[in-house]
Amino acid sequence: MKNLIITCSISILLFASCDTNDSNAASAELKLVTSSNTTGKITYTDLLAASPMVKSFTVGSLDSEGISYNSETDAITVASRTNNRLESYTGIKSALTAGTDNLILSLSSVTGEFNNARETAVSGDKVVVTQDQLVSNGLINKLFVYQKTTVGFTLLNTYTTNFKLWGIHMDGNDLYAVADLTGDIVQFKNFMNNASGSITPTKRVTIEGLIRTHGITYSASDDVMILTDVASAASATDGGLIVIKNFSSIFASTASAGTIALTNQVRVYGPNSLLGNPVDVAYDNVTKNIYVAERLNAGGQVLTFSYPTVSGDSTPVNARAELGVTSIFVLRK
């Protein structure tokens, strides 16, 4: 990933309009994609366009989670909760040019290998899927590791956990995951090296003041961990964002079963933030913008925050309606 020097001004219409003085500006990319669990749509936004426009496309899954985008293959991948499989859709750029709506399914995994997917994490040609416990899956919390091939997604390994799963993030060969219904996050060191079976976290820590974590993302270049707090699922006003700077040293110095204190956090909470049920989060390490999938307020919103330096009730620099938004992903190249 290239580190670009960017100067940005916020568009009153949509997100950030950015100019770059990098010599490779013509090849720079900043794409934002989202999924929904009610509309059967995904959205695609080129944030480096002169006038960024949100483009909506219909896919073959009414309820999708864990979206990601690969610009080299021009493919969007989601974990379909409608079809209980990984699905990859290609041809976004040609659909933009042609003005068409529907995307064509190009690859998928075997239907029914997971049930009640909540998130994905991508590392090279590997895709990790979280399964949250549900009666229909035998109340089993599970991680699935797939390899993307030219003909589909091949299941390589499966791991059961003794805690409820939601958001995950791959950092090299290590996996970070949230423990749903708690304020805890876990780390699995050398995650991909494990054989299938029951898996125990290398370390589990509590984030002080966090009620129920869902979204998680980590930037190694900035050494910052960003988490979302949905708090009460029924409340549209009690959600929040937590930013932990110098995360690697803070995490390393926190004992397993220990607590990362409030003094090591920058916290965004309050009515101006529009955070009620922020279910997913993404981060761009160049503009320092934080993008949030807010599921409850207004039936779903995509919120953009400037990087917070102090705790408080921050107002998003942009908020746009998106019904049922469940996952969000930023591609920076």
pTM for the whole structure: 0.91
Low-confidence ranges of the chain (pLDDT < 70): 1-26
In contact, 245 and 226? CB cutoff 8 Å: no
Query: What long-range pairs does 227-232 form, CB within 8 A, spacing at least 24?
Result: 227/178, 227/185, 227/281, 228/167, 228/275, 228/278, 228/279, 228/280, 228/281, 228/292, 229/183, 229/269, 229/275, 229/278, 230/276, 230/277, 230/278, 230/279
Q: How far apart are CA 53 and CA 294, in angstroms?
A: 19
What pLDDT score was predicted for residue 69? 98
| Tokens read off for 307 | 């990087």
From the list 141, 143, 140, the residue with the least C-alpha distance to 79 is: 143
- State percent of the chain over pLDDT 90: 92
How high is the pLDDT of residue 27?
A: 76
Quote the CA–CA distance of 140 and 254 in Å, as a whole number. 29
Could you tell me if 333 and 71 are in contact, meaning their C-beta atoms sit under 8 angstroms apart? yes
Instruction: Fill in the amino acid letter for 136.
Output: S
Q: What confidence score (pLDDT) does residue 26 get?
A: 56
State the chain's mean pLDDT as an integer: 93
- Secondary structure in 3-state letters for 13-57: CCCEEEEECCCCHHHCCEEEEEEECCCCEEEEEECCCCCCCEEEE
Topology annotation, domain 6-332: Neuraminidase (2.120.10)
